[in-house]
């Protein structure tokens, strides 16, 4: 027997009582279907959060790649500038040596002394330049290593998020299947209640 509703929208208690256990069972089934549907929607929200986290990790990975590229470009610029400065200084030192040699033709001792001074200056500058270039290379290597570490950390995070995304997709698929089953059950309850 179906449930009747009066003009005053009150539930016909006689119909509920006449429905007996079957009516109560349908009510419980409807409540369980509602609970299952809410759980499915919660699982769907988790999947959306996982997708957002994956996109964030991909953005951080791109930033790490940009840092590596910037560090390499900076190191190349520094090395190019150092090479130009070294070449300029070498040329200037050589010109100084040549000029001193020309002027010191009359005095061998003066020529020898001036050449020694020029060579010492060039050697000191060369040693200093080598140390500076080595320090710059060390800094560039450290920056590259740091960027590599960040890239590895971001890759692991991306892998973890990809796994979470797969799990969330499976949960969404399960939720969709549950929702379809619940919809079928609700349709059957509606048919039975008619």
d(CA 58, CA 37): 32
Residues 6+ positions from 167 with CB-CB distance below 8 Å: 50
Q: What is the pLDDT of residue 9?
A: 37
The string of pLDDT tens digits covering residues 159-180 is 888 888 888 888 888 888 888 8
The string of pLDDT tens digits covering residues 75-91 is 888 888 888 888 888 88
Lookup result for tokens 């040549």: 98
Q: What is the pLDDT of residue 47?
A: 65
Q: What is the mean pLDDT of residues 105-134?
A: 82
Question: Would you tell me the crossing angle of helices 13-103 and 108-193 to the nearest 10 degrees?
Answer: 170
d(CA 24, CA 30): 10
pLDDT confidence tier of residue 63, bands split at 50, 70 and 90: confident
Query: Is pLDDT above 80 for 50?
Result: no
Q: ∠ at Cα 88 (87, 93), nearest 5°?
A: 95
d(CA 101, CA 139): 41
Query: Is pLDDT above 50 for 1?
Result: no
Domains of the chain, each with CATH number or no CATH: 13-193 (1.10.287)
d(CA 192, CA 194): 6
pLDDT confidence tier of residue 10, bands split at 50, 70 and 90: very low
Is 26:3 a contact under the CB 8 Å cutoff? no
Lookup result for tokens 């200037």: 92
Residues 6+ positions from 64 with CB-CB distance below 8 Å: 147, 150, 151, 154
Query: Is pLDDT above 60 for 4?
Result: no
């Amino acid at each position: 027997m179906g449930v009747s509703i009066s003009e005053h929208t009150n539930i016909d208690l006689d119909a509920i009582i006449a429905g007996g256990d079957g009516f109560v069972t349908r009510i419980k089934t409807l409540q369980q279907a509602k609970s299952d549907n809410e759980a499915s929607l919660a699982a769907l929200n988790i999947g959306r959060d996982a997708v957002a986290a994956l996109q964030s990790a991909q953005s951080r990975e791109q930033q790490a790649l940009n840092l590596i590229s910037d560090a390499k470009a900076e190191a190349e610029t520094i090395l190019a500038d150092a090479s130009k400065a070294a070449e300029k200084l070498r040329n200037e030192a050589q010109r100084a040596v040549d000029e001193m040699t020309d002027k010191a033709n009359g005095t061998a001792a003066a020529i020898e002394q001036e050449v020694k001074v020029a060579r010492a200056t060039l050697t000191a500058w060369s040693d200093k330049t080598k140390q500076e270039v080595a320090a710059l290379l060390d800094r560039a290597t450290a920056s590259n290593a740091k960027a590599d570490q960040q890239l590895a950390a971001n890759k692991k995070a991306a892998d973890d998020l990809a796994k979470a995304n797969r799990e969330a997709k499976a949960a969404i698929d399960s939720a969709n299947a549950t929702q379809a089953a619940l919809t079928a059950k609700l349709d059957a309850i509606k048919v039975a209640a008619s």
